[in-house]
Amino acid sequence: MSQSLVITKEFSDSLEKALQAFTKGHLELTLLVAYELGNQNDADDKLALISFFKSRVLAHGLSAESADKMARDTRQIADFCGNFTSLEACKKALKTIGVTRLSHLNTWVGRAKTHAKAIMSLPRDKRENFPLDDGIKTLSAFNALIQGIEEEAKAEAEAKAKAEAEAEADEEYYEEEEAEAEAKAKAEAEAEADEED
């Protein structure tokens, strides 16, 4: 950032409000289409709905990459959204879970995959300590579970590295002891041989 640039509080507050409106609007838009998509049974109807959605996004001046990403996000959450009796029920559930952004919703929808990936960083005997069960009802609880797994994995990796370093140090010590004993035995043998001569 430039040394001479001064960010006023008024600008910062306005920017924050605009960003909050943008992220809320992005979530609302994606939920609207995902709910409709999740309630379609016919594969051709689903494709047609996604095509229509992308065409409307493009018509409003967004890039093709943005349209593709929005369509991909919509597909990822469609099954989740389609499980609710109404769009309002879906929004209410998301509020209870703690979802306020699309990235939060993607995390929640993909939690089983995220958990499976994280749990593989632990030794087998430690994995049962971090189950993904029905007790995880909020995004913050899920994030705390993943953080706990990551902290345990880090501690396990540090303990393993320390044990390996200690084993290596012990091995070097015994090798030095053995080398010294061999050198001493050789020197004594040579000294005996010299005495005999």
Mean pLDDT of 23-51: 93
Q: What is the pLDDT of residue 64?
A: 94
pLDDT higher for 180 or 46?
Answer: 46
Q: What is the pLDDT of residue 51?
A: 95
Q: Give the pTM.
A: 0.68
Q: What is the pLDDT of residue 197?
A: 62
Q: Which of 26-30, 68-72, 169-173 has the lowest mean pLDDT?
A: 169-173
pLDDT in tens, 105-157: 999 998 888 888 988 988 888 888 888 877 788 989 889 988 999 998 899 88
In the structure encoding, which two tokens stand for residue 138, read together?
Answer: 């909020």
The confidence band for 1, taking pLDDT boundaries of 50, 70 and 90, is: low
**Amino acid identity for residue 8 in this structure:** T
The confidence band for 24, taking pLDDT boundaries of 50, 70 and 90, is: confident
